[in-house]
Amino acid sequence: MNPIQSLTRRFRTKTVDSAFGVLLMVPAMLFVGVLIFLPVAESIWMSFTDYTLARGRGAPEWNSFDNYIHLVQSGALWNSLEVTAIFVIGVVAALVVVSIIVAVALNQKLPGRRLLRSVTLLPWVTPTVIGALLWMWILQPQYGVLNFILSTFGIINEPVSWLANVDWALPSVMAAAFWRQFPFMFVVVLAGLQGIPRDMYESAMIDGASFMRRFFSITLPLLRNVIRVVILMSVIMNFRQFPLVWTMTGGGPIDRTMTLAVLSYRQSFVNLNFGRGAAVATVWLLIVMLFSVVFTRLFRSREYE
């Protein structure tokens, strides 16, 4: 066989393999397209229409950027962006820091660490709505556990309406979100810690490195990819956090907990304006996508420094 025939046969083999690979991907691509991209495309199209139930059975009409303009001029979108930013940054920062600290502590040879790990997972197996109701009972002004404990130690003189107070409503919901999501983040970080070779710590201890030195020189650098995944997942989870906020406050008081998810739901299913609700969802989607791309590129660029 001459070189030209050999090259031709090799090219044909690669072409057949590539075509077969594409053929195997077609069902998955159709599945993803129908269940994910089609609804997203329809939602984006809906955001440029006057789709409301008041129109009856008539087809929605194209109204260009009227939904977005109304949301901006009314201030609802800016308020929700601010609330969402505070909510996401606060919860994610607390989750990352506390999950690393607790995971490092429970990765040591401590008595009862298996029991502590099991107890830590309880909030994660609790349904979100049930967790929200539990926190509403804890924060209840008259007979809530939190007010009882604070008044017993003399920290407060009168009951505090945590979920009805404009200053404390958002921190209260953030605390409940942290409680709900912490177990998952803790397990991910703990799995990353257990993947670090023990001989690296033993070598550092022989060289006289302190605990903090080992933490900043070995643990954190080797947890880099785990921390990246934890931050990205936590940001996405909190951006789409709806059941907890809606159950506890419904976006109140006076929109102090009105996240983008709650605003989209309220516009769509309370005000019955699906066009404006889709507009909020579109802005929400663009922000998450932009953050994911920028965040991934920043981490990737630092890996090559």
Domain boundaries, the chain: 1-33, 75-303
pTM of the model: 0.86
Reading the block at residue 102, the tokens are: 């607790």
Does pLDDT of 300 surpass 80?
no
If you average pLDDT over residues 234-254, what whole number do you get? 91
- Of 38, 37, 86, the C-alpha closest to 257 is 86
Reading the block at residue 281, the tokens are: 């969802």
What span, in angstroms and rounded, lies between the C-alpha atoms of 267 and 279?
10
Characterise 254 by phi-psi region: left (phi > 0), alpha (psi -120 to 50), beta (else): left
State residue 5's pLDDT score: 55
Instruction: Return the half-sphere exposure (C-beta side, CA atoms, 13 A cut-off) of residue 222.
Output: 16
What span, in angstroms and rounded, lies between the C-alpha atoms of 136 and 129?
10
75-303 under CATH 1.10.3720.10, yes or no: yes
- Encode pLDDT of 71-108 as tens digits: 999 999 999 999 999 999 999 999 999 999 999 888 88
Confidence grade of residue 177 (pLDDT, cut at 50, 70, 90): very high
State residue 58's pLDDT score: 64
Does pLDDT of 52 surpass 60?
yes
Does pLDDT of 303 surpass 60?
no
State residue 67's pLDDT score: 92
Among the residue ranges 7-11, 213-217, 253-257, the one predicted with the least confidence is: 7-11
**Average pLDDT taken over every residue of the chain:** 86
